[in-house]
Structure 1
Amino acid sequence: MIASSTLPYKLTLKPEQVFMLSALVVNGGNYVYNLVLGRILGPEKFADAAILITLLMVLSFVAMTFQLSVTKFTAGLEGAKQFSFFSFIKKVAIISGIILGIVIALFAGELQQIFQTNSKEMFYFFAAGIPVYFLMSTNRGYFQGNKSFYKLSFTYQTEMISRLVITLVLVLTLKGNTSLLIAAGIFISFIFGLFPYQKSKSKDVAESPLEIGSLKSIFGFILITAFYELTQIIINNSDILLVKHYFDAYEAGLYASLALIGRMVYFVAWMFVMILLPTVVKLKKEGKDPLPVFFKYLSLISLLAGSIVVLTFFFPETIIQLMFGEEYITMAPLLWKYALATSIFAVSNVFVYYFLSLEKYLPVVISGVFGVSQVAFIVFFHQSLAQVVEVQIVIMSFLLLIQLGLFFYQQKKKFRRK
């Protein structure tokens, strides 16, 4: 008789896997946030809430400039130099956030008119949170660059949970302007997202000031990354902003629900890219070939994107009914098309981030051209919501084809050199 038994192995998760699971929870929480608001408010009021959510996504892309810059340089620096860089970039991020916040606050009235919102005060709350959000992003970049995935996961969790809980408490318990309450919830969540906070070590900063050559390299990367994140903003969010401008509140609310479901692909792809970038930088520094890692993440993202498109094609009404309810069911025929457009963009995005981590910037410029093209085509072709979605499928298909062509051209050149 066996008195005791032991497992042949321990089930352990790597920090990267913990971050992946955490990212799934965060994305799930953000979806719950959007879905609950959509159900509580209905299509017309949700259109205003969707503008705030879209502006939050725009802000996250702007802040990603700082996060990716900190990730890249902290992954390549050590000791005192790392903290010197980190201290410098935090100051740049805070000053940039204050300037951008002042600009948004000054033009709150104009933003209200452009997006046809019920309140301009909601833009004041949003503006006040921008410096905090940029600081939070540099903090995350430090954790990401050092592969401190437990701490990185925690900052995303605190932001998501606090925004979900606080916003719902405010909306359900207080009567008044729901857009203003949602903006307040977003602002408070930025403060929670600062924890855990990584302080700069003043002694190391004083002992190892940044050299002029390093500053040029840093600002060069920030400018390139900022340009790319601008293309991300245009491609990912211009459709919602333009629909809010060209269509009435009811149709804009319906389209916002469609976009939030269809963008599942992008959010899934994002968590893989967050791990890909520091890994490629590290492999390059060590003189190793990053291609196997790139193909691994490209395959995973393509498989997941394809699965989501198939699900939205076969079960559109079920998905929309479960997520937003009967009021939004008219968007069912467009769901798979929107998911397809987002999937194509998500896959092309992997190529761009890979090249960006290798300091090759032509794909960034190409994305910028297609981002502007998408805006231009929607401005000229917006007779219906279906046409807006179909324009995006065409533009994103051409973008992916060009990124694929560039990738194979680069590999062919590399092979010839060898």
Structure 2
Amino acid sequence: MNKILKHPLFSGSIIMFGGGMAANVINYIYHLLMGRILGPIDYGSLASIYSLIYVVAIVPISTSFAIVKFISQAKDKKERGYIYWVLKKFVFWVAVVASLVLLVISPWVAQYLKIDEFASVVMIAPMTFLLLMILTNQAAMQGLLRFIGVVGPGFSSALGKLLFGLFFVALGFSVNGAVFGILLALIVTYFLSVWLRGNLFDEKAKAGSFSIQKFLHYAFPVLIQALAFTAFFTVDVLLAKHFLPAFEAGIYAFPIVIGKKSRGEAYRGIFFVSFLLTVLISILAVSLYWLFPSLAIGILYGKDYLTAAPSLVWMGLFIGVYTANYILVNFLLSIERTKIVYLPLAIAVIQVVGINIWHSGIMDIITVSLVSMLILFVGLSLYMIYTQIPKLYVKN
């Protein structure tokens, strides 16, 4: 028992779980408070900004998995240091280019999404740079099983955006204040990630055999998967902001944003349990939305959002099927079935086309998104039956 308790994976799991839960609770409180304080119209703008942040975070999220892999496989501190500094230099220049591109297209983005707070859109550029640098440090620390270096920045970011955001919103800066709070939180979090990293990576390691091509080859399938699944829960919010009146866009956005859950990679040993739990939790949540929609919205968000009550059960179904699909694809990626990532990418394109055609109201957008998720679920299920179910009957 003592060996288990002292094992770094056991203690690390406790740290990751506890820190992740704490950050999720803070994020939940953040959206509850912002939804109530800002009201549907301004909260719709904030939700659109968040959707844009989720989209630009695709690159750091996808590269972080690859960073964890290569750092953890390093033979010694010298090789580890070389890999880290090569990757950090590469990510730095990716962050610079991405931030400049976002800065240039900011006016078009603000106009397309009908966001009056132009400064909020501009701030996404420096946020992108900071996110990339923070996640590089977090991934490197995770590769060393230094889980405090992963959880600490995540908790700092969540708490910082809550405190800074509420402060500036209370001063009357509305959406700009909330977004500036996120930027300040990321600045603090970046310096925290550097401090937690310390001198674990040898800065003098100048030679080695690691190549960026190898890194990109591993990261690409994860990038496609992240692109598709991020599109599923951001494109609808962004297109709702473009096509619907401001009030309706805000009504649509709040349950979608609040419904986001942190998810981990699934592996065969825990896949069926994870999938079953997801289905059961989704059924419970959808049942509550169906039986008590007005009560759920009224208690959490207030009367301004009650017009969303008839749509809540369908939003819950969308989020439930989305999460099930996410688990299925992560499981397939974990067993190196990487080509499957092109299926969700194709469905994401169908979702975009569908919303551009049918967008007369909230239910149109929800219907297109839900149907897209159901089509993906059927496709993934058939693929699982064809490739994985037979293996259950084969003895290793």
TM-score by length of 1: 0.85
2:185 matched residue in structure 1: 189
1:413 Cα offset (Å): 6.5
**Pairs aligned (count):** 383
Correspondent of 2:63 among 62, 66, 69: 66
1:280 matched residue in structure 2: none
Correspondent of 1:309 among 267, 280, 286: 286
SS of aligned partner of 1:142:
helix
CA contact (8 A) 2:57 2:128 kept: no
Q: Residue 209 of structure 2 aligns to which amino acid in structure 1?
A: L
1:233 Cα offset (Å): 2.3
1:156 matched residue in structure 2: 154
In structure 1, list runs of 5 or more residues that go unmatched: 1-9, 277-289
2:394 aligned with 1:396, yes or no?
no
Deviates further, 320-329 or 64-73? 64-73
2:118 matched residue in structure 1: 120
SS of aligned partner of 1:295:
helix
Once residues 27 and 231 of structure 1 are traced to their aligned partners in structure 2, the CA distance between those partners, rounded to angstroms, is 23
1:17 Cα offset (Å): 3.3
Summarize deviations over 1:286-344 as a string: whole Å, max 9, x none. Answer: xxxx5213333333333333332222222221221122110100101211211111111
CA contact (8 A) 1:38 1:46 kept: yes
Correspondent of 2:268 among 291, 311, 315: 291
Map 1:243-322 → 2, pairs under 5 A = 243-261=240-258, 263=259, 266-268=260-262, 270=263, 272-273=264-265, 276=266, 290-322=267-299
Residues 1:21 and 1:35: Cα distance change in structure 2 (over 3 Å): same
Identity across aligned pairs (percent)? 21
CA contact (8 A) 2:44 2:253 kept: yes
Correspondent of 1:348 among 302, 325, 332: 325
1:147 Cα offset (Å): 3.5
1:154 Cα offset (Å): 1.5
2:61 aligned with 1:84, yes or no?
no
Map 1:221-232 → 2, pairs under 5 A = 221-232=218-229
SS of aligned partner of 2:38:
helix
Residues 1:144 and 1:335: Cα distance change in structure 2 (over 3 Å): farther
1:201 matched residue in structure 2: 201
1:210 matched residue in structure 2: 209
CA contact (8 A) 1:108 1:121 kept: no
1:135 matched residue in structure 2: 133
1:369 matched residue in structure 2: 346
2:121 aligned with 1:98, yes or no?
no
CA contact (8 A) 1:46 1:253 kept: yes
1:412 Cα offset (Å): 5.2
Once residues 73 and 354 of structure 1 are traced to their aligned partners in structure 2, the CA distance between those partners, rounded to angstroms, is 20
CA RMSD of aligned residues (A): 2.4
Once residues 226 and 304 of structure 1 are traced to their aligned partners in structure 2, the CA distance between those partners, rounded to angstroms, is 28
Once residues 189 and 380 of structure 1 are traced to their aligned partners in structure 2, the CA distance between those partners, rounded to angstroms, is 38
Deviates further, 391-400 or 144-153? 144-153
Once residues 82 and 298 of structure 1 are traced to their aligned partners in structure 2, the CA distance between those partners, rounded to angstroms, is 36
2:33 aligned with 1:36, yes or no?
yes
SS of aligned partner of 2:99:
helix
Once residues 76 and 351 of structure 1 are traced to their aligned partners in structure 2, the CA distance between those partners, rounded to angstroms, is 26
Summarize deviations over 1:111-150 as a string: whole Å, max 9, x none. Answer: 1110111132222222122111101111221233333333
Summarize deviations over 1:148-192 as a string: whole Å, max 9, x none. Answer: 33332221110100110011111112x34x232222111111122
Once residues 73 and 355 of structure 1 are traced to their aligned partners in structure 2, the CA distance between those partners, rounded to angstroms, is 21
1:78 Cα offset (Å): 3.7
Q: Residue 360 of structure 2 aligns to which amino acid in structure 1?
A: Q
1:281 matched residue in structure 2: none
SS of aligned partner of 2:115:
coil
1:16 Cα offset (Å): 1.4
Residues 1:101 and 1:201: Cα distance change in structure 2 (over 3 Å): same
Summarize deviations over 1:29-64 as a string: whole Å, max 9, x none. Answer: 112111211211111222222222222222333321
CA contact (8 A) 2:244 2:359 kept: no
1:223 Cα offset (Å): 2.2
Once residues 78 and 295 of structure 1 are traced to their aligned partners in structure 2, the CA distance between those partners, rounded to angstroms, is 34
CA contact (8 A) 2:355 2:368 kept: yes
1:409 matched residue in structure 2: 386
Residues 1:74 and 1:404: Cα distance change in structure 2 (over 3 Å): farther
TM-score by length of 2: 0.89
In structure 2, list runs of 5 or more residues that go unmatched: none
Once residues 64 and 232 of structure 1 are traced to their aligned partners in structure 2, the CA distance between those partners, rounded to angstroms, is 12
CA contact (8 A) 2:225 2:344 kept: yes
Residues 1:72 and 1:317: Cα distance change in structure 2 (over 3 Å): farther
2:175 aligned with 1:179, yes or no?
yes
Once residues 98 and 351 of structure 2 are traced to their aligned partners in structure 1, the CA distance between those partners, rounded to angstroms, is 25
Once residues 163 and 209 of structure 2 are traced to their aligned partners in structure 1, the CA distance between those partners, rounded to angstroms, is 42
Once residues 17 and 278 of structure 2 are traced to their aligned partners in structure 1, the CA distance between those partners, rounded to angstroms, is 13
2:217 matched residue in structure 1: 220
